[in-house]
């Protein structure tokens, strides 16, 4: 769409002034009528009102005469209006006004009424239906919500409210020998705009990603921070991983209120949604292999041949952008302060959590207890060993682990749940062995796909194209000789029975007194003794 030109802007300004003058006509005439009742009305008053309203003096005198007689200033004409039936037709035709006009014209021809013109219908739809209703009738309720105003939440304090979400980066990166689009799991503080913590996975996120991101949010100091502490409440959507028992237990153990929002309501967590949009426009769009780049033509996009980043390089650049966002991005609503400066200006006390408690609660726990044996701890069919297990054989312990990261587990005493230490996977396969397993799986999947494609080729049937209504007809003609040949080929491809090649079953002619299955005994000859 081309930007409006100077002439268009002038026409819009004139239309706006005319509408304002029409709205002021009633108050101006009533003021003149009051002066006339007090015998104070002069021609100068009428000329001033006409000049202000941008109309002729005779127009003002005519409206004043109507007001003295109690008549309306403007005559209301019968105009076409949108009814409930027309709204139903608009919903049926997905907001297509021309299709609705065609149907209304056909109905008017049947009843002999005067059909409405297409331009009149367009004006009525634009006048009687707000933009939200028009978008909803065309694209559904989610589209109509984009035209709704939303209230801003009152200011709170730091760590009062957090919001969390998953965001798939629209960028292709190299991970494990293939191109993937990584996922970011992060949380932000709604009051200060601070990005509290994040976690990146090269695959679809899971509850382990959420627990890792929460750990980076709560801890501060060393590699974490500088913001940290426990929030009062967290707003999340209805994702299955966010509603998992591991996440609910971790937050509930620290007395953190979890507000689960209804489905398809992104406006209820606007802080994290704005952060997702900012990351897309300010960071993801600057990386190579951005999937939403401008199209050069119908087949190519700008930069699609650029070398892709590695997953490690993507995580490093993302960490740099998050640090710059927290320390350099100036927020206009907060007097030009950065999120970190606004965070440090708050004096709200932080709820601190020790790393030992995080090990206990930000991990998923096993329901049953385990026993330390001579080979270590048996968990999920694997053995885990550690040096601190020396002299503890026969001790019952409780295990907590990070989902999808089973190379190590955290072991706790079964009596008081005291953290004993970390156990590592024993007899762990080397990188070469793991790569061989992955290659074997890839080759098996490739072989299965090839077999299924060949089977689909044999199964596929093509049909003739029709220009008129009629039954479907196959386009491949086959003779009886070709059909018999293919059937013989299919029979010969079946596995042979495990019988000798020279095996021949003996044909035994039963005596006459025996009954042969499938024969009529009344027609058999009588047996002689």
pLDDT tens sequence across 164-216: 999 999 999 998 788 999 999 999 999 899 999 898 988 888 877 888 888 88
Distance from C-alpha of 322 to C-alpha of 315, rounded to nearest angstrom = 10
In which band, very low, low, confident or very high, does the pLDDT at 507 lie, cut at 50, 70 and 90?
low
| β-pair type (405-413, 419-425) | antiparallel
Q: What is the mean pLDDT of residues 82-87?
A: 91
Spell out the residues 6+ positions from residue 377 whose beta carbon is closer than 8 angstroms to its own. Answer: 370, 371, 383, 384, 385, 389, 397, 399, 409, 411, 423
Q: What pLDDT score was predicted for residue 223?
A: 65
501 or 363: which carries more pLDDT confidence? 363
Residue 346: CB atoms within 10 A of its CB come to 15
268 or 428: which carries more pLDDT confidence? 268
Please provide the average confidence, as pLDDT, over all residues in the chain.
80
Which class would CATH give 161-345? alpha beta
pLDDT exceeds 60 at position 9 = no
Q: What pLDDT score was predicted for residue 182?
A: 93
How many residues are recorded in the chain? 529
Q: What is the mean pLDDT of residues 94-107?
A: 93
Q: What is the mean pLDDT of residues 272-284?
A: 93
CB 475 within 8 A of CB 464: yes
In which band, very low, low, confident or very high, does the pLDDT at 18 lie, cut at 50, 70 and 90?
low
pLDDT exceeds 90 at position 97 = yes
Q: What pLDDT score was predicted for residue 118?
A: 93
Report which of 284, 275, 258, 376 is spatially closest to residue 329, judged by C-alpha positions: 275
Q: What pLDDT score was predicted for residue 275?
A: 93
Q: What pLDDT score was predicted for residue 12?
A: 62
pLDDT tens sequence across 222-276: 667 778 888 999 988 877 777 777 777 778 878 888 888 887 778 788 889 999 9
Q: Print burial letters for 456-475: b (CB count within 10 Å at least 16), e (below 16).
A: eeeeeeeeeeeeeeeeeeee
Q: What pLDDT score was predicted for residue 405?
A: 62
**Strand, coil or helix: what is 281?**
helix
Supply the angle between the helices 97-111 and 84-92 in degrees, to the nearest 10. 130
Q: What is the mean pLDDT of residues 15-21?
A: 62
State the residue for tokens 């006048």.
Answer: 127
Helices and strands (H and E) in the chain: how many: 16, 15
The lowest-confidence range among 22-36, 399-413, 497-511 is 497-511
Residue 383: CB atoms within 10 A of its CB come to 14
Tokens of 366: 């096993």
Q: What pLDDT score was predicted for residue 529?
A: 44
Q: What pLDDT score was predicted for residue 196?
A: 92
Q: Cα–Cα distances in Å, from 58 out to 25, 43, 150, 395?
A: 13, 11, 47, 105
**Strand, coil or helix: what is 206?**
coil
Distance from C-alpha of 491 to C-alpha of 478, rounded to nearest angstrom = 19
Strand partners, 186: 165, 198
pLDDT tens sequence across 139-160: 888 788 878 887 777 878 899 9
pLDDT tens sequence across 339-393: 999 998 888 888 887 766 666 555 666 667 888 888 888 888 888 888 888 878 8
In which band, very low, low, confident or very high, does the pLDDT at 513 lie, cut at 50, 70 and 90?
low
Q: Classify residue 392 by its DSSP letter.
A: -
Alpha carbon 310 to its chain's center: 25
**Strand, coil or helix: what is 462?**
coil
Distance from C-alpha of 477 to C-alpha of 137, rounded to nearest angstrom = 49
**What does the domain layout of the chain look like in residue ranges?**
26-76, 84-145, 161-345, 363-425
Q: What is the mean pLDDT of residues 67-93?
A: 82
């Amino acid at each position: 769409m081309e930007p409006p030109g100077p002439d268009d802007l002038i026409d819009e300004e004139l239309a706006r002034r005319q509408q304002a003058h029409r709205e002021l006509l009633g108050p101006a005439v009533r003021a003149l009528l009051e002066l006339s009742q007090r015998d104070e009305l002069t021609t100068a008053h009428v000329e001033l009102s006409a000049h202000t309203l941008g109309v002729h003096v005779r127009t003002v005198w005519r409206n004043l005469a109507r007001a003295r007689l109690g008549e309306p200033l403007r005559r209301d004409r019968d105009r076409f209006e949108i009814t409930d039936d027309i709204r139903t037709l608009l919903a049926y035709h997905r907001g297509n006004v021309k299709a609705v006009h065609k149907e209304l014209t056909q109905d008017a021809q049947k009843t002999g009424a005067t059909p409405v013109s297409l331009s009149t219908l367009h004006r009525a739809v634009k006048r009687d239906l707000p933009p939200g209703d028009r978008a909803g009738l065309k694209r559904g309720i989610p589209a109509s919500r984009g035209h709704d105003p939303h209230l801003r939440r009152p200011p709170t304090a730091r760590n009062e409210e957090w919001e969390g979400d998953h965001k798939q980066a629209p960028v292709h990166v190299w991970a494990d020998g293939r191109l993937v689009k990584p996922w970011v799991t992060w949380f932000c503080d709604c009051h200060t705009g601070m990005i509290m913590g994040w976690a990146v996975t090269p695959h679809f996120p899971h509850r382990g990603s959420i627990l890792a991101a929460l750990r980076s949010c709560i801890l501060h100091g060393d590699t974490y921070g500088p913001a940290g502490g426990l929030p009062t409440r967290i707003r999340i959507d209805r994702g299955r991983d966010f509603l998992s028992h591991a996440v609910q237990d971790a937050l509930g153990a620290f007395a953190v209120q979890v507000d689960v929002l209804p489905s398809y309501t992104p406006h209820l967590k606007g802080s994290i949604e704005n952060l997702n949009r900012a990351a897309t426009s300010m960071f993801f769009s600057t990386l190579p292999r951005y999937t939403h780049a401008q199209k050069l033509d119908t087949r190519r996009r700008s930069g699609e041949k650029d070398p892709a980043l590695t997953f490690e390089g993507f995580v490093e650049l993302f960490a740099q952008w998050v640090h710059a966002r927290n320390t350099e991005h100036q927020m206009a609503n907060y007097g030009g302060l950065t999120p970190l400066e606004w965070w440090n200006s708050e004096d709200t006390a932080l709820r601190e959590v020790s790393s030992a408690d995080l090990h206990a609660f930000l991990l998923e726990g096993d329901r049953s207890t385990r026993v330390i044996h001579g080979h270590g701890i048996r968990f999920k069919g694997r053995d885990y060993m550690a040096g601190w297990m020396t002299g503890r054989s026969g001790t019952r312990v409780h295990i907590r682990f990070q989902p999808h990261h089973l190379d190590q587990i955290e072991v706790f005493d079964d009596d008081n749940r005291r953290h004993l230490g970390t156990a590592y996977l024993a007899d762990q396969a080397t990188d070469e062995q793991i790569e061989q397993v992955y290659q074997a799986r890839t080759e098996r999947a490739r072989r299965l796909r090839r077999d299924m494609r060949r089977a689909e080729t044999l199964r596929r049937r093509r049909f003739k194209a029709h220009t008129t209504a009629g039954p479907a007809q196959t386009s491949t003609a086959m003779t009886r000789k070709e059909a018999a040949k293919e059937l013989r080929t299919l029979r010969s491809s079946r596995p042979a029975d495990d019988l000798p090649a020279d095996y021949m079953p003996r044909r035994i002619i039963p005596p006459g007194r025996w009954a042969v299955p499938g024969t009529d005994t009344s027609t058999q000859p009588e047996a002689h003794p």
